[in-house]
C-alpha cells in the first residue's frame, strides 16, 4: 500500500485503556509496530477486528481502537472463522501465543490454516506460559526449568512455522518484537489474500528473559539473522556469507561470498513461492545457520470464505426464498373438516 491510501494516523489506533503488560515486555514493541503499520494499510478502524485467545498476548485487542474480541483459551481461530464467514469484509487479525495457538488451540490453528481463512495470525512466541506464571510451553526447548518442570522439560518443542507449513499455510513469516523490519512483515501478511501466519519472537522479560538473544540481539544481528527479501540473494554477515543448496545432500549450507560475487558462490535467490526451500529455511538449525527472518513463504490460494460464499450463491441460484413453500414441500394431504369429535 502506498502513502496515498493513508486515511488514519497512529493516534487513531490507540485506545484509552491502560496497558497492563509488565514493563519492558516485548508486547509493547509489537503493539507499537502494529499501530504504526495500520495507517499504512489504508484500512479503517471500524472494519478491523482483533480477535485473541487467552494469555499475555491475548490482551492485545484492548489496546487497539478497533473492534476487538478477547475470547477463550485457544479458540480465537474458530471465533474468527465464524466472524469472517458472517462478514467477509472485516479485516481480521488473530493475536495468539505459543501456548494458545499450539497447545490448547493447536487443532483450531491447524484447521484455520488448512482452510485458508483470509486473516492475519500473529503468534507471539516467548517459549513460556507467562500469564500463569512461567510454566514451560510447547515451544520451550528441552531442559527448560519452570515451576512445572523443576528438573527441566523433557519433551521436544514444536516449531511454529514448520507446523504452519505442514498444516497447509500459504503465507509464513518470522519477525522479532523489537525489530524495525516487523512492520514490513505485517504489511506483507496483510497484503496476502488468505491465512497469513507470522511467528513473532517476543521477549518475556519476567519468565524467559532474552531467550532469543542469540539471534535477536542487535549487536550480533548481522551474523545471526538471515533477512529474507523476495527476489534477493540470501546473504548475511553484511554480504560476506550466503546460503546455497548442497546438490549432493539436497540441503542448505552456508558459503563464503568473496568480493560480493554471490552468483559465483551459488547463493540462492529467495523465491517466496518455493515451498521446498521455505521448509529448509524454517528447519535450518540455528548456530550452524543464521535465523531466517522475514517472509519465508507467500503463495496465495483461493480463500475459505470466498469458496463458501461462492458455493452458497451457486446453491441458492434460481431458488426462491419462500418459507411457506419450504414447509409444504414433499407429499402433503388435506383435512377438509373434522369428521367427528373425540
Applying CB under 8 A, the residues found at the interface with another protein are 15, 17, 44-47, 49, 51, 54, 61-62, 65-72, 75, 77-87, 89-90, 107-108, 110-111, 308, 311-313, 315-316, 319-321, 323-324, 326-342
Q: Which is nearer to another protein, 197 or 212 (CB)?
A: 197
* Cα–Cα distance, 229 to 214 (Å, whole number): 22
HSE of 255 in the Cβ direction (CA atoms, 13 Å)?
21
Compute the least distance from the CB of residue 156 to another protein, in Å: 24
The answer to whether 289 touches 228, Cβ cutoff 8 Å, is: no
In the complex with another protein, the residue whose CB is nearer, 28 or 62, is 62
d(CA 183, CA 13) in angstroms, rounded, equals 15
Question: Measured from the CB atom, is 9 or 311 closer to another protein?
Answer: 311
Please check whether residue 198 is in contact with residue 186, taking contact to mean a CB–CB distance below 8 angstroms. Answer: yes
**Smallest distance, Å, CB 148 to another protein?**
22
Rounded Cα distance between 210 and 250, Å, is: 34
Residue 158 and residue 123: Cα distance in Å, rounded? 13
Cβ nearer to another protein, comparing 78 with 296: 78
- Contact between 291 and 282 under an 8 Å Cβ cutoff? The reply is no
Determine phi and psi for 292, rounding to 5 degrees: -75, 125
C-beta separation of 165 from 172 below 8 A: yes
> Least distance in Å: CB of 100 to another protein?
13
User: Contact, 189 vs 174, CB < 8 A?
Assistant: no
> From the CB of 135, what's the least distance to another protein, in Å?
20
Element (DSSP H or E) covering residue 70: strand 67-70
Closest CA to 99 of 71, 72, 128, 78: 128
Query: Cβ of residue 90: shortest distance to another protein, in angstroms?
Result: 6
SS3 assignment, position 295: strand
Phi, psi of 212 (to 5 degrees): -100, 10
Least distance CB 53 / another protein (angstroms): 10
Complex with another protein: residue 256 or 337, whichever CB lies closer = 337
Q: For the chain, what is the largest distance between any 2 Cα atoms, rounded to a whole number of angstroms?
A: 105
Closer Cβ to another protein, 13 or 212, answer by number: 13
Cβ atoms of 64 and 35 within 8 Å: the answer is: yes
Nearer to another protein, 2 or 324 (CB): 324
Measured from the CB atom, the residue of 212 and 304 that comes closer to another protein is 304
Q: Which is nearer to another protein, 44 or 133 (CB)?
A: 44
Q: How far is the CB of 50 from another protein (least distance, A)?
A: 8
In the complex, least distance from residue 122 CB atom to another protein, rounded to whole angstroms: 17
Rounded CA-CA distance 115/194 in Å is 9
Listed residue (72, 69, 67, 68) closest to 53, CA to CA: 72
Q: How far is the CB of 85 from another protein (least distance, A)?
A: 6
Amino acid at each position: 500500500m502506498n502513502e496515498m491510501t493513508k486515511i488514519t494516523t497512529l493516534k487513531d489506533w490507540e485506545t484509552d485503556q491502560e496497558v497492563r503488560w509488565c514493563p519492558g515486555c516485548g508486547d509493547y514493541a509489537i503493539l507499537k509496530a502494529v499501530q504504526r503499520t495500520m495507517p499504512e494499510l489504508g484500512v479503517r478502524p471500524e472494519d478491523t477486528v482483533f480477535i485473541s485467545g487467552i494469555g499475555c498476548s491475548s490482551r492485545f485487542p484492548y489496546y487497539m481502537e478497533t473492534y476487538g474480541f478477547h475470547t477463550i483459551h485457544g479458540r480465537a481461530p474458530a471465533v474468527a472463522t465464524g466472524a469472517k464467514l458472517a462478514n467477509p469484509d472485516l479485516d481480521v487479525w488473530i493475536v495468539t501465543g505459543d501456548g494458545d495457538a499450539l497447545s490448547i488451540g493447536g487443532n483450531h490453528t491447524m484447521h484455520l490454516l488448512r482452510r485458508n481463512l483470509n486473516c492475519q495470525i500473529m503468534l507471539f512466541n516467548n517459549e513460556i506460559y507467562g500469564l500463569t506464571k512461567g510454566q514451560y510451553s510447547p515451544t520451550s526447548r528441552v531442559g527448560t526449568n519452570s515451576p512445572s518442570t523443576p528438573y527441566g522439560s523433557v519433551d521436544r518443542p514444536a516449531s511454529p512455522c514448520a507446523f504452519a507449513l505442514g498444516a497447509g499455510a500459504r503465507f509464513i513469516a518470522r519477525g522479532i518484537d523489537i525489530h524495525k523490519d516487523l512492520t514490513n512483515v505485517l504489511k506483507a501478511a496483510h497484503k496476502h489474500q488468505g491465512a497469513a501466519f507470522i511467528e513473532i519472537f517476543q521477549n518475556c522479560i519476567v519468565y524467559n528473559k532474552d531467550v532469543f538473544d542469540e539471534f535477536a540481539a542487535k549487536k550480533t544481528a548481522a551474523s545471526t539473522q538471515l533477512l529474507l527479501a523476495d527476489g534477493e540473494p540470501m546473504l548475511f554477515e553484511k554480504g560476506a556469507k550466503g546460503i546455497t543448496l548442497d546438490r549432493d545432500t539436497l540441503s542448505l549450507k552456508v558459503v563464503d561470498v568473496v568480493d560480493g560475487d554471490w552468483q559465483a558462490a551459488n547463493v540462492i535467490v529467495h523465491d517466496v513461492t518455493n515451498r521446498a526451500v521455505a521448509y529448509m529455511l524454517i528447519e535450518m538449525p540455528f548456530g550452524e545457520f543464521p535465523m531466517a527472518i522475514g517472509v519465508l513463504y507467500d503463495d496465495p490460494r483461493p480463500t475459505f470464505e470466498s469458496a463458501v460464499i461462492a458455493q452458497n450463491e451457486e446453491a441458492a441460484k434460481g431458488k426462491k426464498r419462500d418459507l411457506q413453500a419450504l414447509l409444504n414441500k414433499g407429499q402433503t394431504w388435506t383435512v377438509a373438516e373434522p369428521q367427528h369429535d373425540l
